[in-house]
Amino acid sequence: MKIRTIRLGMLRIPLKTPFKTALRTVEQVEDVVVAIETDDGHVGHGSAAATAAITGDTHGSIIEAIRRYIAPQLIDGDITDLNALVARTQGALQRNTSAKAAAEIALYDLWGQLHGAPLYQLLGGGEPRLSTDITISVDGIDKMVADSLDALARGFTSLKIKVGKDMATDIERMRAVHAAVAGRASLRLDANQGWNAREAIHAIRTLEDAGVAMELVEQPVKAHDIDGLREVSANVRTPVMADESAFGPREAIELIRTRAADIINIKLMKAGGISNALKMADVAAIHGVDCMMGCMLEGPIGVTAAAHVAVARSATITRIDLDGPSLCTFNPVHGTTVFDEANIMLGDAPGLGIAKIDGIEWLNS
Ligand SMILES: C[C@H](N)C(=O)N[C@H](CCC(=O)O)C(=O)O
Ligand SMILES: [Mg+2]
């Protein structure tokens, strides 16, 4: 199974409601799609979200990185030697983790097709069902309460509440959501780097003292502020999870070694794809540290790949934030993966199980 052509396209999916974090507001998913075609007629699909505020990657940089640097390394490569293709992808250029992720996702899809098995089985197997939380965007307090109640009505039992805009209002946001939800869902707090360590400790302790139970607090301080993250972790009872501070295995090792975070959020777009995501989970497992499998605001292709990894490392990846498809107005990807609100079910088709994707705007090569 040799790689013959690599095509790029854009897949845009409007959201049900604007997605708002401390870092950005977005109204649609806009993924770069990569389709890797082989000499025997197989097609592997991958995708990348351009989350410039987090990874530094833009649509232009992702397209350029794949077209100019990664694709030339892969053409004529043989899928039977996945390790070599992954090494070439990772070595093609520095950083550009989203572009590398998209290419790797397509390569692993083809590898699954080569072996006639769903990817999660080739990665070690597991129960192919996951339950995801859903994001409640940072907004006015009444709107966040209404969105939380709507999420409960849709069957979600875990809410990821976005804060990090202004600490005093964030405390009120959490108090109001906690009161409205009244124990019917677990609450995860994601400040997306919006506080400093002092503010984070104050906000979290205030909420703890007020009886607002939080399953975890995600990335309270700036990505580079590892000392601040450690200070928060040491001074609150609620588990602290690193997201933007934890890109790949190197950062995961350092965060775990220095006890800067209790939990690691793994995302394919930060890690540079599946190979490093697996390493992050394995490093965490060695140290007995739990992980979340997360996603950017991205569509069903990348999220399907993340779900396969999460299933195959479910002993360590104990929390799932793969709500991208649930935030979208429709799913243009036809295949065996079912996204049904909180429930994600992987089918038994080879690779990622993608049969057809509607609405890709193919780019000229
Ligand atoms: C979509 C997912 N639930 C999420 O909240 N991811 C964010 C970053 C997403 C983005 O800005 O595209 C996170 O965990 O920080
Ligand atoms: Mg986060």
In this structure, which residue's CA is closest to atom 5 in ligand 1? 135
Whether the full predicted model's pTM is greater than 0.95, yes or no, is: yes
Q: Contact at 8 Å (CB) between 239 and 188?
A: no
Residues of the chain with CATH 3.20.20.120: 121-356
**For residue range 82-135, what is the model confidence (pLDDT) as tens digits?**
999 999 999 999 999 999 999 999 999 999 999 999 999 999 999 999 999 999
From the candidates 100, 267, 270, 279, give the one annotated as an active-site residue.
Answer: 267
**For residue range 338-354, what is the model confidence (pLDDT) as tens digits?**
999 999 999 999 999 99
Q: Contact at 8 Å (CB) between 109 and 46?
A: yes
**Residue-level pLDDT at 210:** 98
Q: Is 165 assigned a catalytic role?
A: no
- d(C-alpha 100, C-alpha 83), whole Å: 14
How many whole angstroms from 312 Cα to the centroid of ligand 2?
A: 22
Nearest to 219 by CA among 250, 248, 187, 188: 188
Q: Contact at 8 Å (CB) between 54 and 244?
A: yes
Residues 121-356, CATH architecture: Alpha-Beta Barrel (3.20)
Q: What does DSSP assign to residue 364?
A: P
Coil/strand/helix, residue 116: coil
Question: Which residue's structure tokens are 């890797």?
Answer: 36
How many whole angstroms from 190 Cα to the centroid of ligand 2?
A: 6
Which atom of ligand 1 is the closest one to the Cα of 51? 12
Task: Specify the CATH superfamily of domain 3-116.
Answer: Enolase-like, N-terminal domain (3.30.390.10)
Instruction: State the ligand closest to the CA atom of 216.
Output: 2
160 annotated as ligand-binding: yes
Coil/strand/helix, residue 155: coil
| Distances 338 to 76, 152, 175, 334 between C-alpha atoms, Å | 33, 20, 34, 9
| Confidence category of residue 8, pLDDT binned at 50, 70, 90 | very high
Pocket test for ligand 1, best of 21, 25, 57, 344 (most atoms within 8 A of CB): 21
133 annotated as ligand-binding: no
- d(C-alpha 121, C-alpha 236), whole Å: 39
Q: Is the ipTM of this complex over 0.90?
A: yes
**For residue range 170-222, what is the model confidence (pLDDT) as tens digits?**
999 999 999 999 999 999 999 999 999 999 999 999 999 999 999 999 999 99
Residues of the chain with CATH 3.30.390.10: 3-116
Nearest to 28 by CA among 310, 353, 324, 281: 324
Q: Contact at 8 Å (CB) between 242 and 270?
A: no
Q: How many CB atoms lie within 10 A of CB 263?
A: 23
**Residue-level pLDDT at 46:** 99
Q: Cα-atom radius of gyration of the chain, to the nearest Å?
A: 20
Pocket test for ligand 1, best of 295, 319, 328, 344 (most atoms within 8 A of CB): 295
Q: Is the pLDDT of residue 365 over 90?
A: no
Q: Which amino acid is at 229?
A: L
